[in-house]
A and B are shown apart, each in its own frame.
Chain A
Amino acid sequence: NAGVTQTPKFRVLKTGQSMTLLCAQDMNHEYMYWYRQDPGMGLRLIHYSVGEGTTAKGEVPDGYNVSRLKKQNFLLGLESAAPSQTSVYFCASRPSGREQFFGPGTRLTVL
């Protein structure tokens, strides 16, 4: 099992550009999450999904959109990137239990 994978690992964008981050899990988990990690702020939840076809807002959803068309994939989109979205983005998934399994992260820089 690959677990939780994230694509790409690194990306540099210019202000106003758009991009999509892909999270994939092969553990048949129902729940998936997108977090951003910034120095001194821990991890903050952007959006999450409780199952295929569902999404919900987290703590810091503004400027991001998500989709969960397939159970194994959770996509995070930035329509018009801003420097404030420079961060490390982590995807996580979990089964019916409470433990969340994290991917390796995507480091995004917006110039």
Chain B
Amino acid sequence: QQQVKQSPQSLIVQKGGISIINCAYENTAFDYFPWYQQFPGKGPALLIAIRPDVSEKKEGRFTISFNKSAKQFSLHIMDSQPGDSATYFCAASRQTSGSRLTFGEGTQLTVNP
């Protein structure tokens, strides 16, 4: 049972464009929604995270939009750069049970120069 669904599986954008990755979750007990970035041969690293009491969080070129009623959240990368080419994972967790992360399937982003 995939509790966090992510789309698209792959995404190609031009340099300077906007990259948008979407996630949907099922468990309303989730209270923490991070996005992780993974470069080839490396482990994932936290990019940005949001809690359900806010609808948007921005850090530089990266923005999370959160829709609690729809149980959806998305990552927007403004002015996408070739260095942003990586795999992006959304995830969700709740405070109990060790704050285990449930990950989406991942999106492979390619930014063409």
Seen from chain A, the residues whose Cβ lies within 8 Å of a Cβ on chain B are 4, 31, 33, 35, 40-45, 48-50, 56, 58-59, 90, 92, 94, 98-100, 102-105
B103 CB within 8 Å of chain A = yes
B60 CB within 8 Å of chain A = no
Interface residues contributed by chain B, number (CB under 8 Å): 25
Count of chain A to chain B residue pairs whose CB atoms are closer than 8 Å in the complex:
59
* Residues of chain B within 8 A of A35, CB atoms compared: 103
**What 10 additional pairs, Cβ within 8 angstroms, besides A98-B34, A105-B42?**
A4-B43, A33-B101, A41-B105, A42-B4, A42-B105, A98-B32, A98-B49, A98-B93, A102-B44, A105-B41
* Residues of chain B within 8 A of A44, CB atoms compared: 103
Residues of chain B from 63 to 107 with CB closer than 8 A to chain A in the complex? 89, 93, 97-106
A41 to B46 alpha-carbon distance, docked (Å) = 19
Residue interface mask B5-47, A partner, CB < 8 A = 1: 0100100000000000000000000001010100001111110
